[in-house]
Amino acid sequence: MKFHIIFITTLLVSAFQLSGQNQPQVDYKFGKSLQVTAADSSAQLKLNVRFQSLFSSELSGSEKDWKSSFLIRRARLKLGGWAINPDLQYKVELALSNRDLGSKYDFDETSEAPKIVLDAVVKWKMNKIWSLWVGQTKLPGNRERVVSSQALQMVDRSLVNSIFNIDREMCLQLRGKINVGKGVIKPIASWSFGEGRNITKTNIGGIHYVARLEWLPMGEFTNKGDYVGADLKREQTPKLALAAAYSQNNGASRQKQSGRFLIDEEENYLTNDLQTVFADMMFKYQGFSLMAEYAHKIVSDNEVRDQDDLRLQLLDADGRSYYTGSGINLQAGYLFDKNIEVSARYTKVNPDTEVSFTGIEEYTLGLSKYIVGHSLKLQGDVSLFDIAGQDANDLRYRLQMEFQF
């Protein structure tokens, strides 16, 4: 942590020293990035820091006592901007909290080091239509995962995301934006190794291919609102985004992109081809928002569905397997006066084999107060979980503050 503090302090001091020389242009407003533009317009730097303070309490249906925690859920240092000209952009996001730094599931594969780097990517806008991204960043999978954790409508993402998302990796991405009448079509393709972020081992399996296609038939949302929770801009005309994505992870060696590596009794990695299909939508109009997602993941080799082959081809030495199955998430909210929003979520996840995850239905009600948009807000929610094979339901309530400066 000493390194983090020294690094942040050095950046801030340097920025304000430059400001005092009256050479670069410096701009800052709470909730926005500290923005420094070179005097010769050769580069721009944006800097912000954010953290989330989370209180959570849970009651298991099989127990009588509440289990509570109070922690920094996320703490991030974000840098971005452009170099040479605005067509060559970059983004760096570093993790500062224990929850982000832990390597519980990939300790050996990350050289026993904390996973500080979340994003480190260069984005080159080649022409009016196409952009090329190179580096570590989020893959173009489900919408909820790509929405920043700072811009979520509820305290955190759904179970569909935690079980099926394809997270971050070192990758190449080709992104397009094509105007078709009043609408916009956005094709995206990605190439990576399929083993998650900050991996230092050589490629264990094969290549991970992802393709995503987005259609905005009513034109673009205000300030990229199709990837922001809640309708804080109160869209004056209806806005709709529809999307589908496909992931082919050849030789996958983890339960999921950020899950455990599967290793047999001889300490060899298990590998199998995983296929995931995503479909999602976002709708916003005058304070009302609706988001829906569907995910379905399977092992490509159908032979492993035979019960006699499960232990040989799906299970590791500790009896763990791939997270395969399907899930659906529906959530909606309405923003009242004084920027108070009421939201609701329904989530259901189903495993496709007896050796995958546990099936769960979740019902959640949320309440948010946006003081300075998503940069300063208070959010709370209460959830009921109907867990397969469990007689009584689990309960959980959470309260979180987001602060970005």
Q: What is the pLDDT of residue 136?
A: 98
Strands, E, within 32-182: which ranges? 34-37, 43-59, 67-83, 85-95, 117-125, 130-138, 168-176, 178-180
- For 318, residues 6+ apart whose C-beta sits below 8 A from its C-beta are none
Instruction: Quote the radius of gyration of the chain (alpha carbons, Å).
Output: 22
Q: Which CATH class is domain 2-404?
A: mainly beta
**pLDDT tens per residue across span 100-139:** 887 778 888 998 888 999 999 999 999 999 999 999 999 9
- pLDDT for 367 equals 98
Q: Tell me the CA distances in angstroms from 181 to 178, 215, 285, one per residue in order.
A: 10, 12, 21
Lowest mean pLDDT among 102-106, 189-193, 200-204, 253-257: 102-106
pLDDT > 70? residue 68: yes
| CA atoms within a 13 Å half-sphere pointing along the CA-CB vector of 327 | 27
123 to 85, 86, 87: CA distances (angstroms): 12, 10, 8
How many Cα neighbours within 13 Å face the side chain of 119? 19
| CA nearest to 324, candidates 306, 349, 307 | 349
Q: Indicate the pLDDT class of residue 64, thresholds 50, 70 and 90.
A: confident
Three-class secondary structure of residue 218 per DSSP: coil
Whether the pLDDT of residue 12 is over 50: the answer is: yes
The Cα angle at residue 92 between residues 87 and 94, in degrees rounded to 5: 170
Q: State phi, psi for 228 to the nearest 5 degrees.
A: -135, 130
Contacts of residue 340, defined as CB under 8 A and 6 or more positions apart, other chains included, come to 367, 368, 369, 370
Its pTM stands at: 0.90
Q: What is the mean pLDDT of residues 256-283?
A: 91
Q: What is the mean pLDDT of the chain?
A: 90
